[in-house]
Amino acid sequence: MQVTTVGLDLAKNVFQVHGISNHGEVAFNRALRRSQVLTFFERLGPCLVGMEACGTSYHWARGLIKLGHDVKLIPPIYVKPYVKRGKTDAADAEAICEAVTRPTMRFVGVKTPGQKAILSVHRTRSLIVRQRTQTINMLRAQLAEFGIIFPKGVGHATQFAKRVLEGEQSDLPQIVGDVIAELCDQLLFLHRKIAHYSREMTRIAKHEPRVALLQTIPSVGPITASAIIATVGIGKQFNNGREFAAWLGLTPLNRSSGGKERLGRISKMGDRYIRGLLVLGMVSRMRSINKNPERYDPWFANILARKPSKVAAVAMANKTA
C-alpha cells in the first residue's frame, strides 16, 4: 500500500500521524514519540505532509522537506471544520490529512532559519516593550497613592526614573522609597534593552536588500520592513496587494447577503504585530500630511478631511499594504 498523504498533528512529546493511500484507504493512524518522527518519515516514500502552522511547525517542515516530502502548513482555523465530533489527537491528524488535500485550501509559507532569527528579535523586543509598559503603570500606581504624579509618556517616566536614581529627595516612607527605586532601576534597564534591539533591527535592515527596498515606502522604517520580510518572505503566497492587506486584517468585514452589500469594521484576522506597526507608521505620517498637505497624494489629504483620525490611519495602512 503506497502512502500518498499524511496528516501530522504536532505536540511537545507525543505526535499523531494519519496516512492514506492513493486509493483513499487509511494506511495508519498512530502516535509517535518526538525521537521517532524523522525516523518514521525516512521509511516513507515522498508524499504530501500536512501540518498546522503553529509552534515548532517550521522546524519540522524544514526537516521533512530535507527527506524529500512535500510539506504544507495550514492555518489551524482552516483545519477545525474537518474535525469530526470530539477533539482528539487522532481526530486532529485525520482532519489535517483531509484539509491538506482540498484544492481551495490556503497554506502558510515555510519560514527559513534566517526569517525566524529576525522574528526572534522582534518577539523579544515586543515582550520587553510590554514589560516596560507594565513597569511604568505600576510605578504610576504606587506613586499616585502618595500624591505624586508625573506626565504620561515613556519619556517623562524615564526622566523621572533617572532623577530618582540620581538621589532626588521625596517625602515617601523608607519602604516605599526602596520599592520606587527598584521600579525605576527596572524601567531604565528595560528602556536600554529596547534601544539595543532597535539598533539591532536597524543593523539587520542595512544588510538585507529586501528590507531596504521596503523602507523606500513612506512611513515604513526598519522595524516594520524587517517584520514584514521575516513573516511574509518573498510574498509569493499572495496574488496581489489586496490579498496581503486582507491577510493583515486591514480590509472590511463582508456580511453581504441577498444581493445587499454590507461592509463593517476591519476584520483584524491576520498578523496583529505587523498591522499595528503599519497603523502606527501612518499615525506618524498623518502629522506630516497635516503640516504640508500639498506635498502628498491628494487621496491622503482627502481621507483625513472626511474621516476621524483613527479611521483614516487604518485606511492609509490598508492602502500602504
Q: Which residues, listed in sequence order, are joined to residue 20 by a DSSP beta bridge?
A: 5, 26
Burial letters 216-251, b for 16+ CB under 10 A, else e: eebbbbbbbbbbbbbbbbebeeeeeeeebbbbbbbb
Amino acid at 24: G
Report pLDDT digits (tens) over 272-304: 999 999 999 998 888 887 777 777 778 877 888
On the question of pLDDT at 51 being above 80, the answer is: yes
Length of the chain: 321
Q: Which residues, listed in sequence order, are joined to residue 19 by a DSSP beta bridge?
A: 6, 28
Cβ contacts of 216 within 8 Å, gap of 6 or more: none
Report pLDDT digits (tens) over 73-96: 999 999 999 998 888 999 999 999
Can you read off the three cell numbers belonging to residue 242?
Answer: 489586496
pTM of the model: 0.84
Q: pLDDT band for position 259 (50/70/90)?
A: confident
Q: Which residues, listed in sequence order, are joined to residue 48 by a DSSP beta bridge?
A: 5, 70
Through-space distance between the first and last CA atoms of the chain, rounded to whole angstroms: 47
What is 3-99's CATH topology? Nucleotidyltransferase; domain 5 (3.30.420)
| Sheet strands side by side (includes 48-52) | 26-33, 14-21, 3-9, 48-52, 70-74
Report pLDDT digits (tens) over 19-45: 999 888 999 999 999 999 999 999 999
d(CA 106, CA 20): 21
Can you read off the three cell numbers belonging to residue 33?
Answer: 514519540
d(CA 216, CA 220): 7
Can you read off the three cell numbers belonging to residue 156?
Answer: 517623562
Q: Report pLDDT for 155.
A: 94
